[in-house]
Amino acid sequence: MDRSEKHFNEPKKTHTKIKHLLLNSVLTKSISIANNLCDRYNNTDKKYTYVDLFAGKGTFEDGSKGSPLIALDILDNQINDEKNKFDKLQIIATEKDAGNIQELEQVLKTIEATNNIDFYYGEGEWENFDAKLQNQLRGSDWGFIFADPFSTELDIIKLKNVLKDCSKLKDILVFFNFNTLARQEGRAHSKDIERICKNLGISEDELLDNEGDFSNKFQNTLKNHFSDLKDFVLGVSFPNTVKGNLINADYFYLIFSSSSIILVDSFLKTYEQSLKEFAHYTSQKSLFEGQDVIQILENNNKECLLLNLFKTFTMEFLSWKKIINTGCRVNTLENIVVLLNEMARKGKIEFEAPQYCLYKRKTGENLPGNLKFSSLKNKKCLEQVKIKLLSEVQVSLL
Q: Are residues 81 and 199 in the same domain?
A: yes
Closest Cα partner for 127 from 165, 177, 162?
162
Across residues 68-72, what is the average pLDDT?
Answer: 95
Statement: residue 233 has pLDDT above 70:
yes
Final residue of a structural domain among 279, 303, 322: 279
Q: Are residues 364 and 217 in the same domain?
A: no
* pLDDT tens readout for residues 254-292: 999 999 999 999 999 999 999 999 998 887 666 556 678
Final residue of a structural domain among 222, 246, 279: 279
Structural domain count, the chain:
2
Q: Are residues 176 and 63 in the same domain?
A: yes
Dihedral angle of Cα 13, 121, 133, 227, to the nearest 10 degrees:
-10
Q: How confident is the model at residue 41 (pLDDT cuts 50, 70, 90)?
A: low
In the prediction, which pLDDT does 3 show?
Answer: 58
Alpha-carbon distance of 240 to 218, in angstroms, equals: 19
In the prediction, which pLDDT does 193 show?
Answer: 93
Alpha-carbon distance of 342 to 333, in angstroms, equals: 14
* pLDDT tens readout for residues 172-187: 999 999 999 999 998 8
Look at residue 396 and tell me if it is in a domain. no
Alpha-carbon distance of 260 to 380, in angstroms, equals: 11
Q: Are residues 345 and 233 in the same domain?
A: no
Look at residue 242 and tell me if it is in a domain. yes
Statement: residue 363 has pLDDT above 60:
no
Q: Are residues 274 and 339 in the same domain?
A: no
CB 80 within 8 A of CB 208: no
Beta bridge partners of 349: 389
* pLDDT tens readout for residues 307-351: 999 999 999 999 999 999 888 889 899 999 999 998 998 889 999
Task: For residue 221, give the H/E element and its range.
Answer: helix 214-227
The DSSP 8-state label assigned to residue 124 in this structure reads S
Look at residue 394 and tell me if it is in a domain. no
CB 300 within 8 A of CB 347: no
In the prediction, which pLDDT does 150 show?
Answer: 87
In the prediction, which pLDDT does 328 show?
Answer: 85
Final residue of a structural domain among 247, 279, 311: 279
Closest Cα partner for 25 from 258, 353, 308?
258
In the prediction, which pLDDT does 44 show?
Answer: 63
Look at residue 397 and tell me if it is in a domain. no
Q: Are residues 15 and 160 in the same domain?
A: yes
* pLDDT tens readout for residues 190-225: 999 999 999 999 999 999 887 779 999 999 999 999
Q: Are residues 7 and 145 in the same domain?
A: yes
Q: Are residues 352 and 314 in the same domain?
A: yes
Look at residue 285 and tell me if it is in a domain. no
Sheet holding 118-123, edge to edge: 118-123, 88-95, 47-52, 142-147, 170-176, 252-258, 232-238
Q: How confident is the model at residue 397 (pLDDT cuts 50, 70, 90)?
A: very low
In the prediction, which pLDDT does 121 show?
Answer: 86
* pLDDT tens readout for residues 148-170: 998 899 999 999 999 988 999 99
* Polymer length of the chain: 398
Look at residue 60 and tell me if it is in a domain. yes
Alpha-carbon distance of 313 to 274, in angstroms, equals: 20
Alpha-carbon distance of 36 to 44, in angstroms, equals: 15
Alpha-carbon distance of 154 to 126, in angstroms, equals: 9
Q: Mean pLDDT across the chain, nearest whole number?
A: 88
In percent, the amount of the chain with pLDDT more than 70 equals: 91
Q: Are residues 233 and 296 in the same domain?
A: no
**Domain range enclosing 260:** 3-279
CB 53 within 8 A of CB 147: yes
What type of residue sits at position 189?
H
Rg (CA), the chain: 22
Look at residue 395 and tell me if it is in a domain. no
Q: How confident is the model at residue 46 (pLDDT cuts 50, 70, 90)?
A: confident
Burial 334-351 (b: 16+ CB within 10 A, else e): bbbbbbbbebbeeebbbb
Q: Are residues 132 and 52 in the same domain?
A: yes
Across residues 9-28, what is the average pLDDT?
Answer: 93
CB atoms within 10 A of CB 168: 12
Closest Cα partner for 199 from 135, 154, 143?
154
Q: How confident is the model at residue 362 (pLDDT cuts 50, 70, 90)?
A: low
Across residues 232-245, what is the average pLDDT?
Answer: 93
* Range of lowest pLDDT (19-23, 107-111, 315-319, 344-348): 107-111
In the prediction, which pLDDT does 396 show?
Answer: 44
Residues near 34 by Cβ (< 8 Å), separated by ≥ 6? Answer: 48, 86, 142, 169
Closest Cα partner for 173 from 109, 264, 57?
264
Q: Are residues 43 and 166 in the same domain?
A: yes
In the prediction, which pLDDT does 398 show?
Answer: 34
Look at residue 32 and tell me if it is in a domain. yes
What type of residue sits at position 230?
K
Alpha-carbon distance of 272 to 332, in angstroms, equals: 8
Give the pTM.
Answer: 0.92
CATH code (residue 36) = 3.40.50.150
Q: Are residues 275 and 297 in the same domain?
A: no
* pLDDT tens readout for residues 126-151: 999 888 899 999 989 899 999 999 88
